[in-house]
Every structure is written in structure tokens, then in C-alpha cells.
Amino acid sequence: MQLRYTFRIEPGPGQRTALARAFGCARVVYNDALRARENARMHGLPFPKTGDLSKALITDAKQTPEREWLGEVSAVVLQQSLRDLDTAYRNFFDGLKGKRPKMGAPRFKSKRDSQQAVRFTANARWSITPGRKLRLPKIGNVKVRWSRNLPSTPSSVTVVKDASGRYFASFVVETDDTEALPGTAGEVGIDLGLTHFAVLSDGRRIASPRFFRRAEKKLRKAQQDLSRKAKGSNNRRKAVVKVAQAHARVAAARRDFHHKLSTMLIRENQAVHVEDLAVKGLTRTRLAKSVHDAGWSAFVSMLEYKAARYGRVFTRVDRFFPSSQLCSACGFKDGPKSLAVREWTCQECGTVHDRDVNAARNIRTEGHKVAAGQTETQNARGAQVGPAPVPAQRATRTPVRKKQEPTRSSQPAS
């Protein structure tokens, strides 16, 4: 499997200028190619091929006075920019065909975007020096903050600058199954929530750290300071960086929490089962800020790739599975309950259940069946409930039932 390792880098003043030049050239080529294809579409002409665009917008453009500065950066960076545009169009058309979640058409890039990036492949002749520095063509040797060793030789490196002004080097490496962990008998079901980030089937409760809520006061003050600065001034640019740095600290703390918790669960259990939540639907409710603060999707994605990496079993239980309605002791379905009901007694066997722990146990039981292939491939709504080779699509929303209009007669509608 392919993994991405990201490290902080510290370019010098001259290297920052060279990187800014590379970011700008890659952005110009991307926008020129997008404009050429949009013009062809508007005039009903054939869709320009990547090879033709490469010759016209890179090779020939370097010979013109308007674009001769494209020769100051590595040609691989410009070619990869065209590949990025191809990927954007492919994802857009695949979304229209239903092969993946729908996404918008490619858009023009701006130098004011929150993130700038360029990619160097193997033919760019980048390397890691004996002194553990990253040598990039036409940029130089850049200092890297190594936090771990790379498991194999990287196939490419992407240099990224975020909105807070930090630089990162992201390596793509190939790994094998030598990292599989020793087998264990543990099996856990996870019920994700807001009051508690996760409730496990063994009764453990993981408190919700609420990183954004805790930093909300500082974030609000930084945003207020930004709003008072004159547009186009140096002070406003500095305030923008401060806001971005505040948000970056929150995101880094949340990501660290997700990594530590997901690693702990993968190491302790041979099988991990989690409910496939409709996160997009929840982000349209009044709980949107708390849902974004929790970051369930990122956490579940970490569980999924770590399970594949370390030889564990990972399953997603269908979101329509009634985990809160079933008795985990006898299997009796007790019907839907409001969120205010945190504890209930089974009418069949008399077992007193904690709502979240009972749901986690039901998720573990159902996930075990899914992993063993004892459930149907699809349920009545057509949703995938069995194990799939790719992550489940998150574009499906929970259907909203329309209110039934009263009839003209005096009797209520049935």
C-alpha cells in the first residue's frame, strides 16, 4: 500500500523566493490549461489533450517574452501541474457518472489560496543528501525536521506551504505487510458521539476534547483583529497569518488526538467495527460546529488505513442499522428513542442498558457478522453493508420525510 509521510521543512530566504516562483509558475500553467479547455468547450471544439497543452503552454511558451520566466523552475513541476488538472477533470466526470461522490468542476487557482503546492517526481532528480537534507532542483538543499525514518525510497515529494506560512515535504512511499502486528483476541465496537467522542463496547468512554470549542475565544479575538485592519495593508497580511496559525494549532491538536486513539484501538483489537455515519447530513444541522470539531470522518479514515496496514479487520456497519433500538442481551427491538433517553430497560428480558454502551455492543455484534459475511450485501435501501475494497461513499444523505398535508375532509389523514 502507498503511505504519505509529511515532515516540516525550513527553507532559507532565497529558497523561499525560489519556492514562491515555483508555486507561481505551476499555478499559471494550471490556469492557462484550464482556460484553454474552457474556451474549447464554449466554442464546441475538441477537448485539448495533455500532450498538446504541454507543448503549447510549457515548451513553446518558454520561447515567448510573456512566459519566458517559466524556464526558471523545474519542468517537472509544470508537467505535474497539468496532471493535477487532468485528475481534477477525471474526478469531476466520475462524479457525474456516479463512480464517486459529486464534486465541482475545476476552478482557477489564486496566489491567495490557503495552500500552495508543487510536486517533484523521480525524473526531477530530487534526492535526500547524506546530511539528511532535501535537495530540490533549482531550489537547493532544504533542511528537514525528520521525526521518523522512511520505510522505503519515496516515489515523489510534494512541497506544501499552508496559510500560516509553514512549509512541509510530503513523501509517498510503498510499504508491504511486514508491519503486521501480532494477533490478539480483542474485538471492539465504537459508538461515536458528541458528549463523548467515542464509547467502546467494553464500557470505556473517550471524552470529547473539543479543541475548537476550547480555542474559540482566541480564534474570535484573532478574527476580530483581522477585521479591523485596512484591506491591502501589511498589518492585514500579518493578521491573516495569525488567524491561520491559530486554526493550524487546533487542527494539529485534533489530528494528534485522532492518531493516538486510532493507534491504541488498532493495537489492542484484532477487529474494529464502527458505524457509517451520515456526516454530511449532520453538518447541515444546528450541531454542525460540534460535528466539525469532532472530526469523525478523519478518525474513521485513520482506523481504516491502519487496520489495512497492520493486518487488522475493519468494518463499517450500515448507518440504518438500529443500534440504539436493539437489546444487546436478547436482541429484542424496543423501538426508537429520543436523544434525551440515556438509559432504558428492555421490555423483554429486563436488562438495564446505557444507551451508548448498548449501541457500541450492537455495532460490535453486527460488525462481526458483516466481517464473517453473514449479512446481505445490500439492505432494502440499497446501502452497502458488507466489507468493500474502497471507503464507503459519504455523499448519501439520510432521507427527510415530508410532512403529510391534511385532506379536505374533517378526518385526519391516515
Which residues carry out catalysis? 191, 275, 356
User: How is residue 223 written as a grid cell?
Assistant: 478574527
Pairing of strands 167-174, 156-161: antiparallel
> Residue 304 in 3-state DSSP?
helix
Rounded CA separation 163/248 (Å) = 9
Which has the closest alpha carbon to 138: 126, 121, 154? 126
Q: Measure the CA angle with vertex 319, ends 315 and 321; round to 5°.
A: 90
Whole-number Å distance between alpha carbons of 292 and 284: 11
Packing angle between helix 234-268 and helix 211-227, nearest 10 degrees?
170
Give 339-351 as a 3 state SS string: CCCCEEECCCCCC
Secondary element (H or E) of residue 365 = helix 355-372
List the Cα angle 102/106/110 in 5-degree steps: 135
Give the neighbor-by-neighbor strand order of the sheet with 196-200.
Answer: 205-207, 196-200, 187-192, 271-275, 313-317
Helices (H) and strands (E) in the chain, counts: 9, 14
